[in-house]
Amino acid sequence: MPMFGRWMASILAAAMMSGSALAASRGDPVKKFDTDNDGTLDHIEVRKAAMALFARLDPDHDGTLDMRELRGD
């Protein structure tokens, strides 16, 4: 997997595995991101979810995340 893909997958994995209470409140992450409903997440589905997460975390849309943005300030 290219470095960019690993980075995006890491962001998605961190978001999906941020505690059992949070995971329970958000439901099954595979179902949430499995757009073709095959029961798995392929690289396209993971990339799409990671890009959406990055866009939400980057409110100034400068293509970078700083500590302020990661804290949600």
Looking at residue 32, its pLDDT comes to 87
Residues 40-57: pLDDT tens digits?
999 899 889 888 888 999
What is the pLDDT confidence band of residue 29, given thresholds at 50, 70 and 90? confident
- Tell me what the pLDDT averaged over the chain comes to: 78
pLDDT above 90 for 21: no
The HSE-up count of residue 8 (CA atoms within 13 Å, CB side) is: 20
Q: Map the chain to HEC letters.
A: CCHHHHHHHHHHHHHHCCCHHHHHHHCCHHHHHCCCCCCCCCHHHHHHHHHHHHHHHCCCCCCCCCHHHHHCC
What is the pLDDT confidence band of residue 25, given thresholds at 50, 70 and 90? very low
